[in-house]
Amino acid sequence: MKAWIGLMSGTSMDGIDAILVSFSGQTIQVHATHTTAYPDDIRRRLFNLSQNRGTADDVGELDHAVGSLFALAAETVIGKSGFPASSINAIGSHGQTLRHHPDSSAPFSLQIGDPTVITERTGITTVADFRRRDLAAGGQGAPLVPAFHRAFFSSEGEGRCILNLGGIANITYLPADNNEPIVGFDTGPANALMDAWCMDQTGRAFDEDGAWAEEGEINQALLSDLLSDAYFSRQPPKSTGTEKFNIEWIKTQLRRHPDLSGADVQRTLLELTAVSVAQQLPQSPGMTIFACGGGAKNRILMRALQRTCSPARLASTEDLGLDPQWVEPAAFAWLASQTLAGKPGNVPEVTGAEGKRILGAVYYA
């Protein structure tokens, strides 16, 4: 049996999700999972770098430190699985995104987490740096998970939308007719703004289960201002990150609404996620939306999405056999398998790349 490890840390920068999986046809078998939390100091320094506050020394030091933590996550998930390291074909490491600027005059997407450290520590071939080849081919470099969604979640006869609710929300529409092209792009913020506002106002990293948001009320005037941002009406291909949707973006919008309570702002930010997703969904009668990512565990957000996305049915990727937390790390395990098989991992109609490309750099054990 061929086993693979996927390592993922998203824009929330809360820690590293590691999964050990095997693939057979359209079936994913999960053998072990583990999350390695970032130490507070590392998370603070990563956040500062993501907002362009730091030095070249910080980038170099954190590249090594994050690589060591990714290696630890891989070692831990191997230990939990009972598999010998020699049975693992490869590790697919997404790395930690610091900046994502696909639309600049010199497009780039920067992930750190030194893959050579992962290979040396684990003794396992590591595939990393997945985004740059797609960018070099004229694409956005994101989202990269739609190819995985198509391979494992598509269904003839039913239109499905996979909705990932990480720091940023992205959707993959899988048409009932497999001959039709899939659609995928970042719709805008999911948890990024809510997390940023929660930290700024309460010192907590996130609003657990949307409890604070539930205390507030939606402010329609603020919501209208938030939705007026040009990103939401842009046509895909498109991708975004915390370079744009961050605490300063919120505070700029709040200048016209200085008297709102913190809870009202939080509830409005939650509604922004729900409405911006709903407004950009493909129109497909009978479509089911399968949610994944950390936001799928936010009861208030899921309730809002059920309302805004109606009449589409809202479900969880759990119903497709994969826990919402583990979809993205499983995707990068699969992308590593594609790379080593010499197969493309991007979807050009999603990213806007000039064609299919084999993604990532391989660091052999």
Annotated binding site for ATP: which residue ranges? 10-17
From the list 209, 179, 175, the residue with the least C-alpha distance to 194 is 209
Element (H, E) at 165: strand 160-165
Question: DSSP letters of 10-22?
Answer: -TT-SEEEEEEEE
- Give the type of residue at 178: N
DSSP 8-state secondary structure symbol assigned to residue 352: -
Pairing of strands 160-165, 288-292: parallel
User: Using the 8-state DSSP alphabet, how is residue 296 labeled?
Assistant: G
- Report whether 109 contacts 137 (CB < 8 A): no
> DSSP of 228-270, one letter per residue?
TSGGGGPPSS----TTTSSHHHHHHHHTT-TT--HHHHHHHHH
DSSP 44-112: HHHHHHHTT-S-HHHHHHHHHHHHHHHHHHHHHHHHHHT--GGGEEEEEEEEEEEEEETTSSS-EEEEE
Helix (H, G, I), strand (E, B) or coil at 171: strand
- Please give the Cα distance from 250 to 252 (Å, whole number): 5
Report the binding-site residues.
10-17
Q: Give every CB contact of residue 157 below 8 A, 6+ residues apart in sequence.
A: 176
Going 270 to 310 to 157 to 173, the CA torsion angle's sign is negative
226 CB contacts (<8 Å, ≥6 apart)?
253, 268, 269, 272
d(CA 73, CA 16): 7
